Amino acid sequence: MRTTKHITNLAQKIVDEQKGIYMRESAINYLRDELTRIKNALLNGRFYCGVVSVSRSGMSRKIKIGYIYKGKLNLIHNPQILKLAGINKNGNISGCGMDMLFHSQYTLFHNLHTSYKKAHYQRRMKRYRELI
């Protein structure tokens, strides 16, 4: 899948938010490619989430997210990309149950699209298409 204007704009916004980036164009190109790979992984069923730990109260989880690219698992550590998934910079997400993994995937998927209608999660996600 090609890189969209929305993903390019997201990459520019992320670089603008990060202070002290010396090579702006190369950072934008890297993030643009990274976001495109993540979007493709989401669409092709190669995106993975896992719970690392649960807080004592049970109201938050520390999670890891990653995707398969060229046969290798790439964990996502960039705080700005984690923020697109609803995860803070420490990898924590608020909420109960394993639904928080779905929530992070769903939020990231929608943030990589310009609108809810263009994202159309149920029709475009591989695992949901198998149920229809």
pLDDT tens sequence for the chain (132 residues): 677 888 888 888 888 887 666 677 888 888 999 999 999 898 888 899 999 999 898 889 999 999 999 999 999 998 999 999 999 988 999 887 768 888 898 889 888 887 766 666 666 665 554 544
Asked whether 54 and 83 are in contact (CB, 8 A), the reply is no
Q: Which domain holds residue 35?
A: 5-131
Asked whether 69 and 76 are in contact (CB, 8 A), the reply is no
pTM listed for this prediction: 0.82
Range list of β-strands (E), the chain: 47-54, 60-69, 72-75, 92-94
pLDDT at 100: 87
pLDDT at 127: 58
Number of domains forming the structure of the chain: 1
